[in-house]
Amino acid sequence: MPDLTQKRPKDAVPDTAATPSTPVIEIRDLHKSYGDLEVLKGVDIVARQGQVVSLIGSSGSGKSTLLRCANLLEDSQQGDILFQGEPVRWRGQGRHRHPGDARQVLRIRTNLSMVFQQFNLWAHMTILQNVMEAPCTVLGRDRAEVEASARRYLDKVGIGDKCAAYPAQLSGGQQQRAAIARALCMEPQALLFDEPTSALDPELEQEVVRVIKDLAREGRTMLIVTHDMKLAADVSDHVVFLHQGLIEEEGTPDEVFGAPSSERLRGFLSATHAA
């Protein structure tokens, strides 16, 4: 069984990771339902500057829904979402609640870049064009400046030689690394990863894991939904175990993986190791 209690080196995180008073992302008492199905039942999450927070749990526990609510891709029915101390402004209540300020939503989304499980690259664009599109069209940045940044980030994730290729010409691991470069090119305050390796074969998965570990060492603020317990243990400052829409247990990787107190968490980890 792999050792899941080894944390990333402390000297890997720059001084900016020293938990300032205002979190980058803060979620308080979040509730989310789909019709009569209550998926999130009152969840609190905090991610400070330079922190990596991993969300683990069985399918259906609410992990991906929580991430989509944080990025305002889904409307929640109750609770607060704050970005760098600024609360989302809501209109309506309960099932009729939705964000009330479109400009605020755009600002938050552009500062919380999301990397999806299925890559979501545009098939008709080259990899370079995929990475450049949002900074140019959404942020209105200078095209030459964006191209330089895009090439730099593609080099960073190890596929700088694929700028002229189309998504269909790349492996799944290469496509996911292109998606990470696309997220980085927005120069976000935080990165949100929704099962970034679950659609990949084990060999290709490791390509993406290496990139995520490099980003963690740089002190990037990240919220990661993952089924990969080794990844969560290696890169996280804080791990949250969700069960049926509630936080069952949370703590450092040493606490969650090395000395779990919840019977449900122990059972989940045992089943994960056996898989």
Question: What pLDDT is stored for residue 274 in this prediction?
Answer: 65
Over residues 75-103, the mean pLDDT reads 96
Q: Residue 181: is its pLDDT beyond 50?
A: yes
Q: Which residues contact 181 (CB under 8 A, 6 or more apart)?
A: 131, 150, 153, 154, 156, 157, 159
Looking at the chain, the whole-number percentage of residues with pLDDT higher than 90 is 87
Per-residue pLDDT, 275: 59
Are 146 and 132 in contact by the 8 Å Cβ rule? The answer is yes
> 71-84 pLDDT, tens per residue?
999 999 999 999 99
CATH says 10-274 is which class? alpha beta
Distances (CA, A) of 242 to 31, 66, 114, 208: 13, 10, 20, 24
pLDDT digits (tens, 9 = 90+) for 133-179: 999 999 999 999 999 999 999 999 999 999 999 999 999 999 999 99
Position 257 scores a pLDDT of 96
For range 28-48, the mean pLDDT: 97
CB-based contacts of 55, cutoff 8 Å, min separation 6: 45, 63, 66, 67, 223, 224, 225, 226, 240, 242
How many Å is the maximal CA-CA distance in the chain? 55
For 8, 171, 194, 239, the CA distances from 256, given in Å and listed in that order, are: 15, 34, 20, 7
The band of 10, judged by pLDDT with boundaries at 50, 70 and 90, is: very low
The yes-or-no verdict on residue 272 having pLDDT over 90 is: no
